[in-house]
A and B are shown apart, each in its own frame.
Chain A
Amino acid sequence: MTGRSVPVSAMVGRMVRDESGRRIGRVEELSAEIDLHRHGNDYVVTRVVIGRYGELDHVPSAVQVVCSGRQRWRRWAGYRQYEIPWQWLDFGDPAHPRLRRAADDA
């Protein structure tokens, strides 16, 4: 099992695309939980939160961040958030994460 060390900041904000290259959204948050095992207890990333603004995706992220106050406002701007399990993402190239399915998730 090869392990590569990557800073979280290199993964956050990256555009996630699916198999056919379609944009899904940007990585916004990584949820971690404790995984108890024989050799100790580590935090592992279980879910990745991806957000998309639809048309506004082209807007620089600083602007998105400043406008991100209320959930209500974001939804009005066409914002959607998806929480997907880690298995669905291929982080082989951390700068270009790929979704292992077509773009049909809840």
Chain B
Amino acid sequence: MESLSLVHDVLDAQLVDRREEKIGRADSLLLELRDGAPPRVTTILIGGAVRAERIGPWMTWLHRAIRRLMRREQDGVSRIPFSAMRRVGDTVQLDVDGEQLESGHLERWLAKHAVCRIPGASGERK
């Protein structure tokens, strides 16, 4: 049975969606600890808030302050069930649509309100 090294192969790995487009890195993995049963890998988390927690309390504070400044209520973290994982290799592919992810909000917002306002931003490959 193929075994997966969670820290080496999944944590912090580059994640891509169904269309092989980059959607961020696996900023955290959640394990469900159970009595009498092995810990179950449940969720992959992507998002600034989760990263901030791993870095330290000062970073969490800073991140929360910035979010309050930008008036975002949601924490911008995408929680993806581990069962969505399709392939582990140079990148980890998840069976999700990047466009729908909460953590992609900044990318979409910038693309719509900043980038596309400037000529030459979209179209065929350069």
Contacts and interface: CB of A to CB of B under 8 A. Distances in A.
Given a CB threshold of 8 Å, the question of whether A touches B is answered with yes
Interface of A: 1-9, 11-12, 28-35, 40-47, 86-87, 91, 94
B39 A44 contact: yes
Closest 7 CB pairs of A and B: A44-B38, A43-B41, A8-B29, A3-B32, A30-B6, A45-B39, A86-B38
A80 B49 CA distance: 35
B49 to A, nearest CB: 12
A7 B37 CA distance: 17
B125 interface: no
Binding site of B, secondary structure by majority: helix, strand, loop or mixed?
A: strand
A41 B41 CA distance: 11
Interface in B93-108: none
Interface of B: 1-8, 11, 28-43, 45, 50, 53-54, 82-83
B80 to A, nearest CB: 13
Most chain B CB inside 10 Å of its own CB: which residue of A4, A29, A30, A87: A30
B13 to A, nearest CB: 12
Contact of A6 (B33, B53, B54): B33
B31 A8 contact: yes
B6 A8 contact: yes
Contacts of A91: 33, 39
Given A7-B28, A8-B11, A40-B83, A47 B3 contact: yes
B4 A32 contact: yes
Contact of B5 (A9, A31, A87): A31
Contacts of B29: 7-8
Contacts of A47: 3
A64 B96 CA distance: 37
Contact of A43 (B33, B36, B40, B45): B40
Nearest to B1: A33
A28 B7 contact: yes
A51 B3 CA distance: 19
Contact of A29 (B8, B35, B45, B53): B8
